[in-house]
Amino acid sequence: MSSCRSGNVLLIFVAIFVYLAATAETQAMGIEAATRAVSIRDVMISRFESLPATATLDEAAQALLRTTQHEFPIVDDGGRLRGVLTRSGLVAGLQQRGGQAPVIEAMVANIPVVRDYEKLIKALEPLKRGAAPAVGVVDAKGRLVGYVIIENIGELILLRSAVAS
C-alpha cells in the first residue's frame, strides 16, 4: 500500500513539473512574440541621465540620489556609449576605489547596442543571458538615444496581459 502511495505522489510531482515547464515555455514564447512585434523605440528608456566618462564615483553617487535610475550610461564627448555604471558597481567602486575614482573604473564595458529602428527582440537575448545590465539604443550616428533593461520587457508583458484581460 505504501509503494502505491509513493508512486502516486511521484506521479503528482511529475505532473506538476511538466505543467510548470509547459507554462514557462508558453510564457517564453509569448515574450518572444511580443518582442518581435514591438519597436525598441516604444519600450526604451528615453528620459535618463547619463554621465560623462570623466565623471567621478562621487558624482555618480549624487546622480543616484537625485534620480530614480539604478544604472547610468557612461558616454564620451560625442554621445557614444562607453559602458553602464550599475548601482552595485557604484557601491563596490566606492568601497574599493573611493569617491574620486573615475566611473570608467567601475562601469560594465562592452554593452551591446542596437539601432533605434530595430525590434525589441534584438535586445532580448543579451538581457536574457544576463550578459549585460542594459542594451544601448543608438541613432544613425552612433549616439545613445536610450537604453533597455530587463524590467522594460517585464513591464511590456505586464501591460499587454492587463489589456488582454
**How far lies 154's CA from each of 28, 32, 95, 126, in Å?**
11, 12, 32, 15
Q: Which amino acid is at 72?
A: F
Tell me the per-residue pLDDT of 1-22, one tens digit each, with 9 for 90 and over. 445 555 555 556 555 555 444 4
Strand 51-52 to strand 81-86: parallel, antiparallel, or no bridges (unpaired)? unpaired
For 86-113, write each residue's pLDDT tens digit: 999 999 999 999 999 999 999 999 999 9
Task: Provide the residue type at 52 as one letter.
Answer: P
Q: With a cut of 80, say whether residue 72 has pLDDT above it.
A: yes
Q: List pLDDT tens digits, range 124-153.
A: 888 888 889 999 999 999 999 999 998 888
Model pLDDT, residue 117: 95
Q: What is the pTM of this model?
A: 0.77
Using the CB atoms, write b or e for 54-81: b if 16+ within 10 Å: ebbbebbbebbeeeebebbbbbeeeeeb
What span, in angstroms and rounded, lies between the C-alpha atoms of 126 and 59?
29
Q: Whose CA is closest to 130, among 106, 150, 144?
A: 150
